[in-house]
Amino acid sequence: MIQENVVRRVVRFGLPIVILVFYLTASLGFSYTPDSTFLSVQYAKSSGLSSGDMIPSPLWLLFVTTGSVLQLDLVLTAKVFSLFFSCLAILVAYLLAYEVLVDRLLAFCVSLIVAMQSWLLQAAPSGNAIGLGLMLSLTVLFFLLRNEYILAAFTAGLCMMVFWQAVGLMLFLVVDVFINSIDRRHALNTALSATVVFVTALLPWIVFAIWRGVHPIAALVPLNEFPPVSITMSIALGVLVLMMGSGIYFLTSSGGDGRRILTNQIAPALWILWLLVVGISGNEELLFLITPLLVAYAFLGLVQLIRQMRLQSLGYMLPFVITGLLLAQNQLTLISNTSLEMTRSNEHSSELRSIAYWLTANAETSVSVSAERRGIIGYYTDRPIGRFEPGTAPQSDLVVTAARNIDGYELAFRPIREHSELTEHDGHFAVWRKK
């Protein structure tokens, strides 16, 4: 076995290096700015606020608007904060994994795997709020595992101002309090105190929402540009699920100590199930928030498997092999899928910027415009842009879409770009005018 002082040194110096490598790798994609970022920035400028609107991640918008105070570009501000909170999420993933595994080296392996996740490397420089949501949700679970319910409740309130589905964290906190408490009166007092703190964290936003007449429920703006799940990713996820399942089986069959460990993990387990439900129901981006938990509990299952098979003599060899395989799979996905998707998005963004400039020069403000991707168009034209869903009949005078033809409309403008890496299958955006 590796000596404890060696492990401490590895983690002390290795974790900052992992975060630095993640930062440098993610920074290579800093030019990647999806349409959702421009949409969020418009809300941050309050240009999109109207009565009854559901505001995307108000806590995130609060951070973005600090760019206005400092006279900075809001898109740049969003991207810097996105990268910053994604780096913090890796640190919190290590802390959470240590609470689960009680092993610094295995927790370090978990943080390394999380840092090399292709989806996080795509989301980090994008300017999307998903990094903030990941960091806050992991922080809530970290406090829960340490039985620091008041801090967990306050952080859950902050997290709910990023995406409303975080209300599940508060519900699971209450469940955890009653399941893991011997004294019911103490459990009730703790649950009530935590609820008050949770509401207190939300209160400023609720008051502001009522004052402005906007919808108080926060919604995470979807990135909508993650590549489809590859075969290698499916295999990796399957292996992690099997490892986690074996851990649950061995802990359940091991008697009192094993069941006590499982009982202490009730809140993270319920959170995983909740994200699966809401993710499959149409919020696919929330499924990625499961990744750090899935990896941590897969390693917990691996530890139980090693104990049951009496393979302790192997030490950390098997966890290191699993870590290496997962890192290789992530790099393969990053190179073959994610990088191509980010390049494709940049090409589409260039087309949409050209269209926005054309609209500014050729379309009167009285002309109604709808767009398939309305964030970039609205940001650069500074005019209201309606939502156009492909396959539906548009009602506006002009439509911006990658569709090859629209009934009742004629082609008005198509940007011509030399050396474009887009194929006909990827589609090219154009402006269509009502006949």
The verdict on residue 120 lying in a domain is: yes
pLDDT in tens, 242-260: 888 877 777 777 666 677 7
**Does residue 301 sit in the same domain as residue 357?**
no
Measured CA to CA, the distance from residue 201 to residue 261 in angstroms comes to 31
pLDDT in tens, 256-282: 667 777 788 999 999 999 999 998 887
- Say which range, 171-180, 226-235, 325-334, has the weakest mean pLDDT: 226-235
Q: Which three-class secondary structure string do you get for the chain?
A: CCCHHHHHHHHHHHHHHHHHHHHHHHHCCCCCCCHHHHHHHHHHCCCCCCCCCEEECHHHHHHHHHHHHCCCCHHHHHHHHHHHHHHHHHHHHHHHHHHHHCCHHHHHHHHHHHHCCHHHHHHCCCCCCHHHHHHHHHHHHHHHHCCCHHHHHHHHHHHHCCCHHHHHHHHHHHHHHHHCCCCHHHHHHHHHHHHHHHHHHHHHHHHHHHHHCCEEEEECCCCCCCCCCCHHHHHHHHHHHHHHHHHHHHHHHCCHHHHHHHHHCHHHHHHHHHHHHHHHCCCHHHHHHHHHHHHHHHHHHHHHHHHHCCCHHHCCHHHHHHHHHHHHHHHHHHHHHHHHHHHHHHHHHHHHHHHHHHHHHHCCCCCCEEECCHHHHHHHHCCCCEECCCCCCCCCCEEEECCCCCCCEEEEECCCCCCCCCCCCCCCCEEEEEC
pLDDT of residue 387: 87
pLDDT of residue 48: 45
pLDDT in tens, 286-343: 888 999 999 999 999 888 888 887 777 677 888 899 999 999 988 888 888 888 888 8
Rounded to an integer, the average pLDDT of 231-238 is 75
pLDDT of residue 297: 92
**Does residue 362 sit in the same domain as residue 290?**
no
**Does residue 353 sit in the same domain as residue 421?**
yes
pLDDT of residue 92: 98
The verdict on residue 182 lying in a domain is: yes
**Does residue 282 sit in the same domain as residue 372?**
no
Rounded to an integer, the average pLDDT of 230-237 is 73
The verdict on residue 169 lying in a domain is: yes
Domain boundary among 309, 325, 360: 309
Rounded to an integer, the average pLDDT of 89-97 is 97
The verdict on residue 302 lying in a domain is: yes
pLDDT in tens, 21-38: 999 999 999 999 998 899
**Does residue 121 sit in the same domain as residue 265?**
yes
pLDDT of residue 425: 52
Measured CA to CA, the distance from residue 298 to residue 241 in angstroms comes to 7
Q: Answer yes or no: are the C-beta atoms of 278 and 188 closer than 8 Å.
A: no
pLDDT in tens, 212-227: 777 777 778 777 677 7
pLDDT in tens, 350-405: 889 999 999 999 988 889 999 988 889 989 998 888 888 888 888 889 999 988 88
**Does residue 303 sit in the same domain as residue 370?**
no
**Does residue 255 sit in the same domain as residue 149?**
yes
**Does residue 249 sit in the same domain as residue 296?**
yes
Q: Specify the number of domains making up the chain.
A: 2
- Say which range, 85-94, 141-150, 185-194, 403-412, has the weakest mean pLDDT: 403-412
Of residues 328 and 68, the one with the higher pLDDT is 328
Give the structural domain span for 242. 4-309
The model carries a pTM of: 0.91
pLDDT of residue 245: 82
The verdict on residue 66 lying in a domain is: yes
The verdict on residue 135 lying in a domain is: yes
The verdict on residue 154 lying in a domain is: yes
**Does residue 280 sit in the same domain as residue 353?**
no
**Does residue 33 sit in the same domain as residue 105?**
yes
**Does residue 13 sit in the same domain as residue 146?**
yes
Of residues 391 and 18, the one with the higher pLDDT is 18
pLDDT of residue 365: 86
**Does residue 63 sit in the same domain as residue 117?**
yes
